[in-house]
Amino acid sequence: MSYGRIFPLWRAAAGPHWDAYVDHAFVRGIADGSLPRAAFLHYLVQDYLFLVQFARAWSLAVTKAETMEEMRHCAATAQALLEDELALHRGICAEAGIDARMLDAAEERPANIAYTRYVLDAGHAGDFAELLAALVPCVLGYGEIGRRLCTERRDTPYRDWIETYGGADYQALCDKVGALLDGAVTRRLGRVPQDAPRWPVLCGRFTTATRLEAGFWQMGLEP
């Protein structure tokens, strides 16, 4: 399963940056349980703020869409981030004594600001396809990580996290985003999008967002 046709092409174009993201030391620490709890909570608080900005970016995609179908997909993805995914963050943080008020008052780290504002800028400066190219490493990268870690079945205190991203609901979201991406790119760049002059720009957006994902994990290791 590779979440459609376009995603594997962009992933290949990102070269070693993709593995630096999905196989980062932070991810390995989640998988084998060696990640210190303080680092995980620090990451989770930043990720809460991240997802709020990402919901804004998916909402921006609603305004950039060209069809009702695209609008529906993007609105549903923003909703899934705000309700389903953030429920994981709220739950784990509440158990650690970090309540909703503390989450909202947390200060964004520079790596977080860099990534989220890059994506929002891609959306403001570019069209729907450009915004999607900056958005999909987030959704589909975690889908890939969650699916892989779920099959490893190792003993780790971060099982809730792994099962959220490897679970059926998140994987279904990834399949839908992959289908949205395929349709959107074909609609704008044609059936052989690799030949379109805009293809390298889209690959570039995807690769930069991928590098910013790796930077986000790195930030997580430095509470």
Ligand X SMILES: Cc1ncc(CN)c(N)n1
Q: What character string, x for contact with ligand X (CB under 6 A) and - otherwise, covers 21-60?
A: --------------------------x--xx---------
Min. distance of Cβ 219 from ligand X in angstroms?
Answer: 9
Min. distance of Cβ 36 from ligand X in angstroms?
Answer: 19
Min. distance of Cβ 140 from ligand X in angstroms?
Answer: 9
Please check whether residue 19 is in contact with residue 213, taking contact to mean a CB–CB distance below 8 angstroms: no
Give the interface segment with ligand X, choosing from 12-20, 92-100, 134-142, 200-208 (CB under 6 A): 134-142
Angle between helices 199-220 and 25-32 (to 10 degrees): 50
Residue 7 found at the interface with ligand X (CB under 6 A): no
Q: How far apart are alpha carbons 169 and 223 in whole angstroms?
A: 30
Q: How far is CA 152 from CA 147, 155, 156, in A?
A: 9, 9, 11
* Residues in 76-115 at the binding interface with ligand X, rule: CB under 6 A: 85
- Give the Cβ contact number of residue 149 at 10 Å: 23
Q: How far apart are alpha carbons 43 and 223 in whole angstroms?
A: 8
Point out which residues bind ligand X (CB under 6 A).
47, 50-51, 85, 138-139, 142, 213, 216
